[in-house]
Homo-oligomer: A and B are copies of this chain.
Amino acid sequence: MTAAKTRARSGGRGRPSKATGLDLKETILDSAEGLFARHGFHGVTTRQVASEAGVDTALIHYYFGAKRELFDAVFLRRADILNQARSVSMNAYVETFGARMTVEGVITAFIDPLLRISQEGGGGWKSYFALVAQVNNTPAWGGETMARFFDPVVHQLVDTLKIVRPDAEYRDLYWCYQFLTGSMMLALSETGRIDTLSEGVCHSSDLEAVRARLFAYCAAGFEAVVARSGKT
C-alpha cells in the first residue's frame, strides 16, 4: 500500500512515473524487509509483501523464486555495505593509532559504523537491524545465517583486540564478543522495551544515548574479563 502510493506519486509531470524492472525489485525488497523485521520470516506471507509493494504475488516469485530466497535477498542486500563500513572503520583506526590503540577505540571502530548508518542511512536500515537482531536470536537457523554473512568482520575485531591485549586468551575474546553483540543488537533493534520499562526516562530510538554508554560499557567489561582471567 504505502510503497504503491509512493511509487505512483514519485514521477512528477515529465518522466514516465511507473517504476519498472530493477526499481520494482528494490520496492519489493523494501516491503519484505520491513515486514520480516516486524513479524519474522514465518509471520509474513508473500501476499502481504506483494500487497504492500503494490505488486502481483507472482511477480515476487518471478524475481526471487521461493519465499526463503526472497528473505536471503533481503538479508544479503545490506550485509555487504555493513561489512565494508565496519572493515574500513577498523582499518582506519588501526592505521591511525597504531601502537596507541585502546580497547575502547577498537570497539568503537567496530560498533560506531552501525550506529551512524542507523541514524543517517534512512528508515530501511532500522528495519534491517531489527531483522538481524531477530535472526541472531533464532536457534534453528540463525547461527549459520549470521556466520555466513558476518563472520569475517568479527574475526577482524577479535584479531585486532588480540593485538591490543596480546596476553588475552581467545576464549575470553570470543565470550566478550558474544556479550557485546547481544547488547549491540538489542540496542539497534529498538524494540521499545526500554521506553516502557523506564517509564519514559529512556527511549530506544535515542541512539545518541547508546553511543554515549555502550562503547565504555563493553570496553570496561572486556578489560575486567581479561584481567580476571590473567589473575587466575
The residues of A with any CB-CB pair to B shorter than 8 Å are 37-43, 130, 133-134, 136-140, 142-144, 146-147, 151, 154, 170-172, 174-187, 189-198, 201-202, 209-210, 212-214, 216-225, 228-229
- CB atoms of B224 and A220 under 8 A apart: yes
Number of copies: 2
25 intermolecular pairs with C-beta atoms under 8 Å apart: A40-B40, A40-B138, A42-B42, A134-B138, A136-B137, A137-B191, A139-B189, A139-B190, A143-B191, A147-B193, A171-B209, A174-B198, A175-B194, A175-B210, A178-B194, A178-B202, A179-B218, A180-B183, A181-B186, A182-B182, A182-B184, A213-B225, A216-B221, A216-B228, A220-B224
Of B37, B151, B154, B219, the residue contacting A139 (CB under 8 A) is B37
Of B43, B180, B196, B202, the residue contacting A42 (CB under 8 A) is B43
